[in-house]
A and B are shown apart, each in its own frame.
Chain A
Amino acid sequence: AQKVTQAQTEISVVEKEDVTLDCVYETRDTTYYLFWYKQPPSGELVFLIRRNSFDEQNEISGRYSWNFQKSTSSFNFTITASQVVDSAVYFCALSQGGSEKLVFGKGTKLTVNP
């Protein structure tokens, strides 16, 4: 069975703080892909990153970084020096062979206060 857990329902930080959003996944497959999407208040879903199960290298893109650890089945997302524009709901998702569906976590609502 596939499952994605985002235990943090809501997080509130002050601008310039670093914040980490947690994502824990469950799958029996050895080949799978993990994703992060951002949903700002305007409502659209914006793709942020895709990572396959064979690549455990951490990734950095500007203020965003992702830490993939197969040993703990986690794919955490860190925003460094957060900004008000980072306020959004962030979704972690899992995709594996044999199924067309993306399995989404329930999302973490991040509020960055000025």
Chain B
Amino acid sequence: DAGITQSPRHKVTETGTPVTLRCHQTENHRYMYWYRQDPGHGLRLIHYSYGVKDTDKGEVSDGYSVSRSKTEDFLLTLESATSSQTSVYFCAISPRGAPTDTQYFGPGTRLTVL
């Protein structure tokens, strides 16, 4: 199994509060990704990183920001959480990125915004 952990694994928060989710890897992979999974939508890319301090937007990036100050950590921040951001969030890692490399996923974080 790829060495990926996510914290917290579960979180309940209120609308308007900031939330930060953490992804930590022990594989020293260059690429890291944040996806959200919602019923009927499969998984959708929020943001990704291709190196320390190098990030880019995915297809559903509005309302989210990311940071990567170390190779092993990729943070996803909801500046002001909304109920539409209730979802399961998955982090993924990849050695060299798309399209050639497989993305390996972390265990997920279930976020509920009340």
Contacts and interface: CB of A to CB of B under 8 A. Distances in A.
- Contact size range, B: 20 to 34
A101 B102 CA distance: 11
Interface in B70-105: 88, 90, 97-100, 102-105
Interface in A62-85: none
A61 interface: no
A93 B101 CA distance: 13
Nearest to B45: A101
Contact of A44 (B42, B58, B105): B105
Q: Which of B31, B59, B99 has the most CB of A within 10 A?
A: B99
A99 B97 CA distance: 9
Contact of B43 (A95, A96, A97, A102): A102
B90 A102 contact: no
Given A100-B45, A105-B42, A35 B102 contact: yes
Contacts of A96: 98-99
Contacts of A44: 105-108
Contacts of A100: 31, 33, 45, 48, 50, 56, 58, 97-98
Nearest to A50: B102
Closest 5 A-B residue pairs measured CB to CB? A104-B42, A45-B105, A101-B45, A95-B99, A104-B43
Interface of B: 31, 33, 40-45, 48, 50, 56, 58-59, 88, 90, 97-100, 102-108
